[in-house]
Amino acid sequence: MSLGKVLVVEDERSLSEALVRKFTHEGFDVMVENNGEDGLSTALREKPDIILLDLKMPKLDGMTALQHLRKDTLYGKDAKVIILTNSYDVDKIGEATNLGVFDYFIKSDSPISEIVTKVKDRLGLK
């Protein structure tokens, strides 16, 4: 039985593969996209329980993808999103918060186990 659907939108292949391995091992169904455009499309089509979203990506950056996601009144406006980035940009953190994202991980500082714990917490799993 799956714990839920996780969408990883991350262009750094080694990180996305590590996240897929860890979340799959934990019992989640995992989908991966490597750019914001495909990530947005998959999110709206598959309606994952939570989205892990990188900010700097090809085709459509994560913040723009998030802005488009929030315009979708059926799923996107309330979708659970966790930002993954290497940016310490306070303005970006503030913008993400204004778009309803309260979890923001600096990739280089965050072990994958910590990200998994936060996802489980956000989904009400223990």
**What confidence tens digit (pLDDT) does each residue in 61-98 have?**
988 999 999 999 999 999 999 999 887 777 877 788 88
List the 29-33 sheet strands across, edge first.
Answer: 29-33, 5-9, 50-54, 81-85, 103-106
Domain boundaries, the chain: 5-122
119: which DSSP letter? H
Within its chain, how far is the Cα of 69 from the centroid? 12
pLDDT in tens, 2-56: 899 999 999 999 999 999 999 999 999 999 999 999 999 999 999 999 999 998 8
CATH superfamily of 5-122: Response regulator (3.40.50.2300)
Q: At 8, is the secondary structure helix, strand, or coil?
A: strand
